[in-house]
Structure 1
Amino acid sequence: MSPADQPATAKRRGRRPAGEDTRTALLDAARSVFAESGYEGATVRVIATRAGVDAAMVNHWFGGKEGLFAKAVLQLPFDPKDIVAALLDGDVDSLGQRIVRTFLTNWDGAGRDGFVAVVRSVTGHDEALKLLKDTLVKYIFSGLASAVSANDREFRAALCATQVVGIGMVRYVIKLEPFASADIDTVTAAVAPTLQRYLTGDLS
């Protein structure tokens, strides 16, 4: 550590290490750039430039743009690529159950605030709507549908999104009882068959 980084005076007490400062600067810059440009329009170089750091720091701290997007904007406790891989790791016929259980487990825990913040913003902020659509439809459900569905993949992905966003809206924003306080097993048993049909069943 250089002398400049050492907490030598009371005035500088509590200063984060340089590495943590870099991570925080990237998160702040990413929130701004993703809001302005959306996931596809934002680039690692633009985010890093706005944060005042080298673009390689994005890979170092977050593994790439997708991981940074998840942490900075939606504050998901997972990377979208990881959640798709985890959901696909199992019997296809129980995929609907894994989807519902996974989202409820995360949203009942650390992921709730990020989800609610986005949902509350979608009616008045196009950026929030785009962020929600990009994550759920374009990366998670499209990835699942591409892996397990023989046809109508885009439509199936959109149907899945309506179901999962609806669960989140009713459970965490509207807080409609008794759904809001129902345990995860009860909700999974009730909703999973619908998601399963959306992904692998007959839509006609």
Structure 2
Amino acid sequence: MNESPSSPRPQPAARRRGRPAGRRAGDTVTRDRILDAARLHFAQGTYATTTVRAIAAEADVNPALVLHYFGSKRDLFAATLRLPFDLREQVAALIRDDPDDLGEQLVRAFLRVWQDPISRHPLAAMIRSVVSDQDAADALGQFFSVQMVGPLVAASGRDQPHLRVSLVVSHLIGLVMGRYILGVAPLAKADLDHLVACMAPVVQHYLTGPLPHPAHQPARR
């Protein structure tokens, strides 16, 4: 029997098996639960001692589901950094602001995250993991370079962008290592505004100031 023009055409099986209503929200909840568990374990231990199996048990999911969402322990570690360090919106705002003020605003936003007692402890634990594990160090470096400093350098359009990113990142990580991890005095006791005033001109120069060009190696005789 022929179908009338108004009759709905049956959909292929693949289309009929589309995501049920609410599936996307459920995925988000599960993913967030895994991230919370990962942050807890990375903060309590180190990157090396934390396992995907332990994180899965904490989140009450199968370890395969952790890898399904994040791919690897290194990628999961990198994802946990985005929660306390949620600076993407702030970086986007800085790009729209006066480029001559980037150094001060970046240092201030970065230090404010560390001043928050809620985020300071897990962040400090993650930094300690970075010191002892190359995968963790690579993940943290990637986060700083790609999500926080890289967009600012790219927006400035200055030369030697990769070197500029590395210089800024090394100063920011060195600052938190000395102030919050090692507790070097008087750095650890310095007022935030004083630190910003000291660091901002250096970071500003790395972001937008002139850098010396690399010297050519002398020709071998």
- TM-score by structure 2 length? 0.62
Structure 2 vs 1, CA of residues 28 and 115 (structure 1 numbering), >3 Å: closer, same or farther? closer
Question: Which residue of structure 1 aligns with residue 35 of structure 2?
Answer: 27
Of 178, 182, 193 in structure 2, the residue corresponding to residue 174 of structure 1 is 182
SS at match of 1:77: coil
Question: Which residue of structure 1 aligns with residue 219 of structure 2?
Answer: none
Alignment of structure 1 residues 2-21 onto 2, 5 Å: none
Matched, 1:91 2:106: no
Q: Which amino acid aligns with 1:131?
A: A
Question: Which residue of structure 1 aligns with residue 170 of structure 2?
Answer: 162
Matched, 1:74 2:81: yes
Matched, 1:114 2:122: yes
Query: How many residues end up aligned between the 2 structures?
Result: 163
The question of whether the paired residues in 2 share the 8 Å contact of 1:97 and 1:189 is answered with: yes
Of 191, 195, 198 in structure 1, the residue corresponding to residue 199 of structure 2 is 191
1:176 Cα deviation after fit: 1.0
1:102 Cα deviation after fit: 0.4
Question: Which residue of structure 2 aligns with residue 202 of structure 1?
Answer: 210
Aligned equivalents of 1:111, 1:143: Cα separation in 2: 23
1:185 Cα deviation after fit: 0.7
Aligned equivalents of 1:117, 1:148: Cα separation in 2: 33
Instruction: Report the identity percentage.
Output: 36
- The answer for unaligned runs of 5 or more in structure 1 is 1-17, 37-46, 59-65
1:85 Cα deviation after fit: 0.4
Question: Which residue of structure 2 aligns with residue 140 of structure 1?
Answer: 148
- The answer for unaligned runs of 5 or more in structure 2 is 1-25, 42-46, 49-61, 213-221
1:77 Cα deviation after fit: 3.1
1:183 Cα deviation after fit: 1.2
1:191 Cα deviation after fit: 0.6
Question: Which residue of structure 2 aligns with residue 13 of structure 1?
Answer: none
Q: Which amino acid aligns with 1:95?
A: L
- Output the aligned Cα RMSD: 3.4
Q: Deviations over 1:17-43 (max 9, x none)?
A: x889624543268779xx79xxxxxxx
